[in-house]
Structure 1
């Protein structure tokens, strides 16, 4: 059973609530959401850099690819008008705090949570993003075969790390990640 299936099995209700939020897409709301994404992606970059520092050799290439994708996303967000010095929305500050807290965990936990952060975001993205709009460039990025291959590599690595972990700790943080994803997507309500 894949990690996504485990997630869907254990957290089906929370995942469905995330995917069924009544998002209202318009250019202004999307631009605000993107600007608020910058501080989170910057924190995610630091989280990934910490992962890479402790990664075993076999994990380094996919983690470097993920880190480069994050650097490119930060550049893209800046090109969209994100201001690194702008005030950070409380929801984003809370999610950044969760990333920093998880950054203190052992490498295998951080790897598993990094996979789930990406997977949950994409599950919500695929459920909510449709049609033409300013989000089209991002939609193409997330659907690109290279990114899908990277996500597959992360899942394989996370699956290997999951077995020896305390499942109560995993469940605790997965619930919190799901809650933060719900709050983040709720900025578009």
Structure 2
């Protein structure tokens, strides 16, 4: 599934991120509106989910709520002005939210997968982000992500490959732009 966009994938993992505390704080603050939009995306997905998909979707939704709580505990201002990069990513998320359920489920998996791959490539294990790293890398969350991957793979035969590739490229492009806020 990652074969669609190897160059963007390599660009994302190879960004020369600098973890200046002020820059990271700005980045976290800019993460809040996106995670809030992701929460709404997941709620919409859960409303349409077949019974067999509900438990993993509830688990990923719970992880998103925990991330919002963590961001607030870090002192981010949920009413801070939203950077144009984040506005663009939120708009993409809203656009994807209008697609049929199978696409939305697959995109939810990839949003999480791309983010975690970038996080693993860029974020040191120690520092103010350590608690969140432990949350994302915890075996429980990795199990939820695995369940989501299995569900997503089950949806792939239902999807138009060209449409899928276009959205995956756009998601990766937005991840590159988002992580570039730390340059």
Normalising by structure 1, what TM-score? 0.95
C-alpha separation in 2, matches of 1:164 and 1:141: 32
Match of 1:14 in 2: 8
User: CA shift at 1:10, angstroms?
Assistant: 2.7
* TM-score (norm: length of structure 2): 0.98
Alignment of 1:30-179 (within 5 A): 30-179=24-173
CA shift at 1:132, angstroms? 2.1
Q: Which residue of 1 aligns with 2:179?
A: 185
Distance 1:133 1:169 in 2: 39
Paired with 1:164 and 1:74, the residues of 2 have a C-alpha distance of 32
Ranges in structure 2 where 5+ consecutive residues have no aligned partner: none
Question: CA shift at 1:48, angstroms?
Answer: 0.1
**How many residues are matched?**
183
What is the root-mean-square deviation of aligned Cα atoms in Å? 0.8
1:27–1:133 Cα contact (<8 Å) kept: no
- Answer yes or no: is the 8 Å Cα contact 2:125–2:133 preserved in 1: no
Check conservation: 2:109, 2:149, Cα contact below 8 A.
Answer: yes
